[in-house]
Structure 1
Amino acid sequence: MLFLQNILRVLGLTCLMVFTFQAVANDEGLSWDKRVVHGELANGFRYYLFDSRQEKDAPKGLTLANLVVLSGAIDEEENQLGVAHMVEHMVFHESDGLPHGVRKAFTDLGLKQGRDFNAMTNSENTRYMVNLKNTTAEQLNAVLGIYQQIAFHAKIKASSLDKERLIIQEEWRGKLSHRSRVNDEKKALLRVGSLYPERPVIGTQETIKNTQASELRHFYQDWYAPNNMALVIYAPVDSVELEKQIKRTFGSEPKRVLPKRHPKDPLLDTDLKMGQLTDSGSKVNRVALLYRFKNEHANTDESRRDGLIDYMTRNLLTDQIRRQRDVLPDHVRVLSSTKGSVSPNVDILGFSVNVDEGYHALGLETLIQELERIKAHGFYQQDFDQVYQKVEKVAERNKDASKSRGTIWSVKMVDAVTSDKILHDPKESNDRLLQLVKTISLKDVNARLKQWLSSPDRILYTQAVGGKNIDIGMPESVTAIFDEMRSRPLGALEKEKTVATKVLPETAKNGSVSLISRNTELGVSNWSLSNGDQLTLLDPSVLAERYQIDPLETDTKTFFTAVSAAGYNVKNGSTWAEQIAVQMADATGIYGWTDEEFQQWRKENSVFLSSKQKAQSLAYRGAIENDDLATLLGVYRANQVTPNIDKDVYDSIMASLKRSAGVDVVRPIEMFSRRLAQARFEQSQTALALSDLTPLSLEKLNQVRHKQVALPVQYFMVSRLPEKQVTNLAAAYLANIPRDTASYDQSSYETAPVIQQAGQAIVDVSLNTEPKAEYRLYAYQAVPWSPIAAVQLTYLGERLEAQLKQRLRSEVQGVYSVRVGLDLNKETNRAELKIQYSSSPERLDDLAEMTKKALTELPKMITEEWVDEIHKAFADVEQNRLEKDFDGTLVHRLELSETLYGDARYLDEMDELASGLTVVKLKAFAETLNFNDRVIGLYRPLD
């Protein structure tokens, strides 16, 4: 992800990279999509309803109910920092009609916080979300009643606030990190001139501790008004009846006069503002330049036309920036751009380059030169013609894509409400766009480009490794560089390269395949290939009939997996070489082709083959339409038959690795993680060093790659194609791949699992520069892998997490969030447990003791009620998995079964997966889990 895209994501900005012109502010010409029932009560309360039964593929019984309060942190006064967020927490406590609290009312409905109900606050709004899995009229009415209490009847008692402060404080503490510090610096730069940097959503440590309940009640009375709210519901219910219930529930609260809102848009000026990101944890050298400008929407076709011009200009600019990377000087790289919104009516266009240490000035000069070059020359006509055709294709495609959105309806409705826009009928809006695009020319797009790049409100900032101070001059000297570049006769822009159309290399003489065994009841057959590889083939239609799974229109793909023992954790040799060789081979694509040629071929043929290397295995996976299976097998074959690494790929990746390894910045949390890894795995070095890279020449890595592909391979295919057709393709593309390990030292193939060492250890360090402590636990226990045990451990982990949250958060307010992972590792036959949370430094040791005690009480956490709940939940998940992705599920389970058992028995026992989810069996299993082999990490602030 490019740097500036990360900036915009952090700030909650709306990227314009996706072509979605279905919402235009206050548009009177295009109405709301008729499938959405919407209205406004007499008191100003608005509602937007979608009956999911309108779509045949909608999740059955699912309701997504959102109560949106159109106020957030930007509406706070100077003495109210964090109040909007604190109110969001407090409305879950007592209310007029729910003296025991809103949270209890939700849980009494069988809902779980985090999973079924939650809330969030940002700068502009506050949102409450409820999910009902099996909707009934009674449940939905109950949710509406609870929402009414949240909206109008919260008590916000001082005694409850004092308890909640501790949780909010831990939420604030949990966000403290290098990343948050840098993001805050970026936010202050990008939104300078507005209130956003001065209104942190979560507040400050001081305001969380000291803000009085009366201030929260004041904000609540000001902004939690019916005329400042909207209800958005996606549900399988009659919208007319739901409308009546909404009127009964929310219609009696009187409309109120809202306070005057603070301006959201920054004040733009003609100054070049300069800044620097100074966090000492920085690992990159960068120069960024950003332009800010007005972009207001109106209710006219002219506004929609402007939106189209923006979209076309942005697309052309992205492509041109990519091409200009080819002419960057040494020490400057990764020229990138992005566009987004910093506020409702102000957009930002940003550019950046990465540089080597000591070359920020060159990076700045290069960045300005390339921007002035693009501005002076404008885009090429042939490029405009292509983006014009893209607009037409996307508009036509959008008409059909919106016919079945599923739960995306909820997302789109909420987005329209929070941005004060209209969700148009896609056919009407896209037909209108198709008419408007005919009025747009290259001249219009180039004019918009010049308008953007002539915006006087600009922000320039630098970032350096370790937060070092960088001097790139004053605004006057930067302006002089702009003037100098404008006076130069800058060369023409780079043109799109002509990319040759490639075809896969022809296969050699076919190999052969022979049947080893067959299981007709499961539809599984095992085959031996003439090169020593083996193929396990599954016809899913056999099991579909057995499990009564109806075929879908999308069941037209073949799933392919190829697994070898080419893991990275070799006993003799470089583990880094094994990993880098695979990375470079993937980047090479097909040896002898350029990257552009391979990417074009892959896009045209819709072929995507991914690799995943583990300590003791290397797997390639892909799925493709049945008619194109030969193409997928062909690209895999080319990868194996010609496993050479392209020199340009080698040079590029090796340079990047050396730059990363050469950065001498080690963040405190990284030091903590390294010490934990050393305690767990007895590894003295866990980070890549320059000394690891020095011996890795292209010749050496090619040798490693050739050694890897010489290993025999086990193939798994799930396909509804005729068996003979699949085996013929295997003979043509797979059976003739050379496999010859005899040419290599057999000891070079020996690998070892990466496993935590036996015993107990505590890593207790005081390194954190923030007022935050962290607890981590890594433990394991030997458990033979089985599908039933894997399911049991998954749910036991969820139960442990829920109970730890209850004890550490709700009962003692010691943490904000707890993360627990409990999985059965099939490679190591170990149940592996991970627990992680942050807390105040003063409470870390007490919370660690509570965690230790909770682990011993896992069997007591298993109750009849909980087991009934997870049994039903698993049945729903499994049924949905099989109905929606039967073939994809089978390929995963087939691979597991054949690898671990040597046969396909897992497929024969899928209907027994829930048999382990009983109180007796879960308790008995939990009794065996002591996790005596453990490493505990305690990360404290600096002394």
Structure 2
Amino acid sequence: MTNKKGFLFMLTMLVLTGIQAFSQAGWNTPVPVDPNVRYGKLENGLTYYIRKNTEPKQRAEFYIAQNVGAILEEDSQNGLAHFLEHMAFNGTKNFPGKGIINYFETVGVKFGFNINAFTSVDETVYNLSDVPTTREGIIDSALLVLHDWSHFISLLPEEIESERGVIREEWRTGRNAERRMYKQLMPVMYKGSKYAERDVIGDINVINNFKHQELVDYYNKWYRPDLQSIVIVGDVDVDQVEAKIKSLFADIPAPVNPATRSFYELPDNDEPLVGVATDPEARNAIVYLYFKAPVTPKEAKTIGYLRTDMVRELISSMVSSRLNELVQKPNPPFVFGASGYFNLVRTKDAMAFYAALRPDNMIDGVKGLIRESERVKRFGFNASELDRAKSDYLRSLENQLKEKDKQKNEKYVWECVDHFLKGEPMPGIEF
């Protein structure tokens, strides 16, 4: 991993040569929200998104996104963000015990498949998926679950004790080769940051010994409406669902003197950071090369940001094409290669080059990937590469427009979640 401050700027300038300049004011224009999405905020701070979509018919997705994760844990809570996620399925105000699972499985919504959640370092997201919308009572129950997950998880002492064993087993079985190698690389990837200390699954000593109040404190401090968003996409009446949300979630109080939701920096580095992780059970050898870059703040994700995002997609496409062409040649340095621009942590993006190495010649594979990244950095791309990438990109957009009424619910769900958590634009494919 390295930080070359001029890297993405050089690529952008090389790719955009000849594109007509926009006025600065034009690039700073806010991106409108897709008019097909009902978007609003309650007085208590809760954000909501509702979109009607009929793929599939008579089904809907019900999500609650929490803008909090393992990064906000104290040392004495290491692993409790994930533990709390488990507790959401062990009793709430209106669904005691296994009530959520028991009820929804009677209408074909299966636990672990349609009823699920995940915790990461920066967010926690819960979902009821593929929920039938054939009866209003089912819709009401799904909304009530989201309501309870927001503010009314029971956290009963006996349920906490019972869940320790479940988490221990998950901790044990989850220590596979990939996880173990990731743990080895964390101090390098996230050097100088709190991200190096939080791997979500947590510290087994904390899991075994934490006092119940530690979990309650984390829940009360961070699960609150100003850090939450409700997302409903599917075959629903938007006006009706909006009215239900306004009524049902009104009893959740706005936080008084809330704790600041901090965002932790991942520092830049002048010299490359190099990490090597090995494990006897590893199935593949993969090399990653990251060029870090600061994220664009939410308020700066304007029309100009959309333009820059397109440039990044074109760059990734052209690099991936080059690496793929290299793989097709006799005696290639690696067996697979690709590139992408992605969010590394909430405060840092990265341009990534990665390749699957040949077991008999790993060093040449590493050299080959570095060589290709350096070639891009120094010389950019030629006109034919750019023309091909633009044609592919436009064709993709045109296909999305043509298929806009055939998109699955989940696609629109994640547009809303990313808009809430990261401020990613979601203007809609027509725009």
Give the TM-score of the pair, scaled to structure 2: 0.81
What SS class does the counterpart of residue 273 from structure 2 fall into? Answer: strand
What SS class does the counterpart of residue 323 from structure 2 fall into? Answer: helix
Q: Match for 1:114 among 112, 115, 120?
A: 112
What SS class does the counterpart of residue 146 from structure 1 fall into? Answer: helix
Determine the structure 2 residue equivalent to 1:42: 43
Q: Go from structure 1 to structure 2 and tell me whether the alpha carbon gap of 1:92 and 1:396 turns closer, same or farther (over 3 Å shift).
A: closer
Q: Match for 1:380 among 379, 382, 402?
A: 382
Q: Distance in 1 between matches of 2:234 and 2:394?
A: 33
Aligned 8 A contact 2:63 2:230 in 1: yes
Please give the residue correspondences for 1:810-849 in structure 2 after superposition, counting only pairs within 5 Å: none
Aligned 8 A contact 1:289 1:352 in 2: no
1:194 CA displacement: 3.2
Q: Distance in 2 between matches of 1:118 and 1:350?
A: 32
Q: Go from structure 1 to structure 2 and tell me whether the alpha carbon gap of 1:77 and 1:140 turns closer, same or farther (over 3 Å shift).
A: same
What SS class does the counterpart of residue 89 from structure 2 fall into? Answer: coil
What SS class does the counterpart of residue 406 from structure 2 fall into? Answer: coil
Aligned 8 A contact 2:80 2:215 in 1: yes
Determine the structure 1 residue equivalent to 2:16: none
What SS class does the counterpart of residue 156 from structure 1 fall into? Answer: coil
Q: Match for 2:68 among 46, 71, 81?
A: 71
Is 2:82 aligned against 1:85?
yes
Aligned 8 A contact 1:74 1:124 in 2: yes
Determine the structure 1 residue equivalent to 2:59: 62
**Structure 1, gaps ≥5 residues long:** 5-26, 429-943
Paired AA for residue 76 in structure 2: N
Q: Distance in 1 between matches of 2:229 and 2:48?
A: 5
Aligned 8 A contact 1:332 1:356 in 2: no
Paired AA for residue 68 in structure 1: A
Paired AA for residue 114 in structure 1: G
1:219 CA displacement: 0.6
What SS class does the counterpart of residue 417 from structure 2 fall into? Answer: helix
Q: Distance in 2 between matches of 1:86 and 1:332?
A: 43
Q: Distance in 2 between matches of 1:324 and 1:116?
A: 41
Determine the structure 1 residue equivalent to 2:184: 185
Q: Distance in 1 between matches of 2:86 and 2:393?
A: 44
Q: Distance in 1 between matches of 2:238 and 2:416?
A: 15
1:220 CA displacement: 0.6
Determine the structure 1 residue equivalent to 2:99: 104
Determine the structure 2 residue equivalent to 1:208: 207
Q: Distance in 2 between matches of 1:85 and 1:236?
A: 31
1:83 CA displacement: 0.8
Q: Distance in 1 between matches of 2:422 and 2:194?
A: 18
Paired AA for residue 302 in structure 1: G
Please give the residue correspondences for 1:254-273 in structure 2 after superposition, counting only pairs within 5 Å: 254-256=253-255, 257-273=257-273
Q: Distance in 1 between matches of 2:252 and 2:132?
A: 30
What SS class does the counterpart of residue 293 from structure 1 fall into? Answer: strand
Paired AA for residue 274 in structure 2: M
Determine the structure 2 residue equivalent to 1:520: none
Alignment size in residue pairs = 395
What SS class does the counterpart of residue 272 from structure 1 fall into? Answer: coil
1:181 CA displacement: 1.3
Q: Go from structure 1 to structure 2 and tell me whether the alpha carbon gap of 1:335 and 1:399 turns closer, same or farther (over 3 Å shift).
A: closer
Q: Deviations over 1:463-482 (max 9, x none)?
A: xxxxxxxxxxxxxxxxxxxx
Q: Go from structure 1 to structure 2 and tell me whether the alpha carbon gap of 1:97 and 1:275 turns closer, same or farther (over 3 Å shift).
A: closer
Determine the structure 2 residue equivalent to 1:354: 357
Paired AA for residue 123 in structure 1: V
Aligned 8 A contact 1:288 1:353 in 2: no
Please give the residue correspondences for 1:560-599 in structure 2 after superposition, counting only pairs within 5 Å: none
153-162 or 360-369, which deviates more: 360-369
Determine the structure 2 residue equivalent to 1:402: 404
Q: Deviations over 1:395-444 (max 9, x none)?
A: 3333222233232333433343343334213111xxxxxxxxxxxxxxxx
Is 2:424 aligned against 1:427?
no
Q: Distance in 2 between matches of 1:117 and 1:365?
A: 45
Please give the residue correspondences for 1:518-917 in structure 2 after superposition, counting only pairs within 5 Å: none
**Structure 2, gaps ≥5 residues long:** 2-27
Q: Distance in 2 between matches of 1:192 and 1:171?
A: 27
381-390 or 200-209, which deviates more: 381-390
Please give the residue correspondences for 1:478-489 in structure 2 after superposition, counting only pairs within 5 Å: none
What percent of counterpart residues are identical?
Answer: 23
Q: Distance in 2 between matches of 1:264 and 1:346?
A: 13
C-alpha RMSD over aligned residues: 2.9
Q: Distance in 2 between matches of 1:386 and 1:270?
A: 35
Determine the structure 2 residue equivalent to 1:152: 151
What SS class does the counterpart of residue 183 from structure 2 fall into? Answer: helix
Please give the residue correspondences for 1:241-280 in structure 2 after superposition, counting only pairs within 5 Å: 241-256=240-255, 257-280=257-280
Q: Deviations over 1:136-174 (max 9, x none)?
A: 212222232233222212231322211111112112222
Q: Distance in 2 between matches of 1:411 and 1:123?
A: 18
279-288 or 196-205, which deviates more: 279-288
1:283 CA displacement: 5.3
Determine the structure 1 residue equivalent to 2:23: none
Q: Distance in 1 between matches of 2:135 and 2:291?
A: 51
Q: Distance in 1 between matches of 2:136 and 2:123?
A: 28
Q: Deviations over 1:361-381 (max 9, x none)?
A: 555544444443443333222
Aligned 8 A contact 1:45 1:251 in 2: no
Determine the structure 2 residue equivalent to 1:489: none
Q: Go from structure 1 to structure 2 and tell me whether the alpha carbon gap of 1:302 and 1:209 turns closer, same or farther (over 3 Å shift).
A: same
Q: Distance in 2 between matches of 1:405 and 1:283?
A: 35
Q: Which has the higher contact order (CA 8 A, sep 6+)?
A: 2
Q: Go from structure 1 to structure 2 and tell me whether the alpha carbon gap of 1:174 and 1:367 turns closer, same or farther (over 3 Å shift).
A: closer
Q: Match for 1:417 among 417, 420, 426?
A: 420
Determine the structure 2 residue equivalent to 1:308: 310
Aligned 8 A contact 2:70 2:121 in 1: yes
Aligned 8 A contact 2:306 2:425 in 1: no
Determine the structure 2 residue equivalent to 1:630: none
Q: Deviations over 1:553-593 (max 9, x none)?
A: xxxxxxxxxxxxxxxxxxxxxxxxxxxxxxxxxxxxxxxxx
1:118 CA displacement: 2.6
Paired AA for residue 301 in structure 1: I
Q: Deviations over 1:575-614 (max 9, x none)?
A: xxxxxxxxxxxxxxxxxxxxxxxxxxxxxxxxxxxxxxxx
What SS class does the counterpart of residue 276 from structure 1 fall into? Answer: coil
Q: Distance in 2 between matches of 1:172 and 1:231?
A: 30
Q: Deviations over 1:669-702 (max 9, x none)?
A: xxxxxxxxxxxxxxxxxxxxxxxxxxxxxxxxxx
Q: Go from structure 1 to structure 2 and tell me whether the alpha carbon gap of 1:374 and 1:420 turns closer, same or farther (over 3 Å shift).
A: closer
Paired AA for residue 179 in structure 1: E
1:209 CA displacement: 0.8
Q: Distance in 1 between matches of 2:397 and 2:100?
A: 45
Aligned 8 A contact 1:63 1:135 in 2: no
What SS class does the counterpart of residue 168 from structure 2 fall into? Answer: helix
Q: Go from structure 1 to structure 2 and tell me whether the alpha carbon gap of 1:374 and 1:326 turns closer, same or farther (over 3 Å shift).
A: farther
Q: Distance in 1 between matches of 2:100 and 2:327?
A: 58
Q: Distance in 2 between matches of 1:277 and 1:177?
A: 13
1:321 CA displacement: 2.7
What SS class does the counterpart of residue 427 from structure 1 fall into? Answer: coil
Q: Distance in 2 between matches of 1:245 and 1:258?
A: 26
What SS class does the counterpart of residue 267 from structure 2 fall into? Answer: coil
Paired AA for residue 172 in structure 1: W
What SS class does the counterpart of residue 251 from structure 1 fall into? Answer: helix
1:323 CA displacement: 3.4
What SS class does the counterpart of residue 402 from structure 2 fall into? Answer: helix
1:386 CA displacement: 2.0
Determine the structure 2 residue equivalent to 1:337: 338
Q: Distance in 2 between matches of 1:288 and 1:67?
A: 33
Aligned 8 A contact 1:286 1:355 in 2: no
Q: Distance in 2 between matches of 1:158 and 1:363?
A: 53
Paired AA for residue 383 in structure 2: Q
1:46 CA displacement: 1.2
1:212 CA displacement: 1.6
Q: Deviations over 1:499-520 (max 9, x none)?
A: xxxxxxxxxxxxxxxxxxxxxx
Determine the structure 2 residue equivalent to 1:231: 230
Q: Distance in 1 between matches of 2:56 and 2:206?
A: 43
